[in-house]
Structure 1
């Protein structure tokens, strides 16, 4: 069985730990790569595209407020790249701002998760259920 390949774009170390704990608690078999900012995420994605899409993530969890390149800029970049359109993207943010949600939806996100992460919130459950579905798909 192959793990779900997750790229977490998050600059807060405590949030990274929280995500790992949540994935473990739900028994999700995963490989997690952490990019500490949007610039690092775009570099990783470009490297994977340049190697024939080898290792592209199945799912990305993207913080909005980060140094260097923010989450919206990462989503905009992904929106423009045909090779990246199949990646499921979820925003992780402390912002409940309606404008941010609309912007994220226009950029093709699969979900919008408000931090701190609560496993029983509808948005987090949607994200984790999708990951479980991906894991089941990879089994077959």
Structure 2
């Protein structure tokens, strides 16, 4: 049994950030890199590229599968809801945790995301410091406290 949570031993996490807003992406990536967990962060700016990254297609053939996907819902080309549905219906991808990070606090978006088996749904705070704290807390949770199954 792992003592990861007990000893709070950080390990290298690979995050895929799916975000089309450059300002939000910069803030998230900066916060992930400054968090108490050592992280590798990849960013794609639309839903079609997210699917290609996850399936290791095209220019993404040498990219690792992420440990966690941070997914915006409002994306060009393929919506975040469609990306989430693709992940959770693909046998090779479905166990990757997906955290929906969006500006939408609409109940319909939340219900649809959880209907597609999102692992978490968070609304991006408008306040810079609260947004930074949210990202830091996500890193701490997924990188230190969360216990994935063996071999993950």
Same-fold call, TM cutoff 0.5: yes
Give 3-state SS (helix, strand or coil) of 1:60's partner: strand
Q: 1:60 to 1:97 in 2, by over 3 A?
A: same
- Aligned partner of 1:35 in structure 2 is 44
Higher helix share goes to which structure? 1
- Aligned partner of 2:143 in structure 1 is 131
Q: Which portions of structure 1, spanning 4 or more consecutive aligned residues, are displaced by more than 4 angstroms?
A: 119-124
Q: 1:86 to 1:30 in 2, by over 3 A?
A: same
Instruction: Give the gaps of 5 or more residues in structure 1.
Output: none
- Aligned partner of 1:94 in structure 2 is 103
Instruction: Give the gaps of 5 or more residues in structure 2.
Output: 1-9
The alignment's TM-score, normalised by the length of structure 1, stands at 0.80
Task: Answer whether contact 2:12 2:143 (CA < 8 A) is retained.
Answer: no
Calculate the aligned-residue CA RMSD, in Å. 3.3
Tell me the matched-pair count: 136
The alignment's TM-score, normalised by the length of structure 2, stands at 0.75
- Aligned partner of 2:79 in structure 1 is 70
Q: Distance in 2 between matches of 1:102 and 1:123?
A: 22
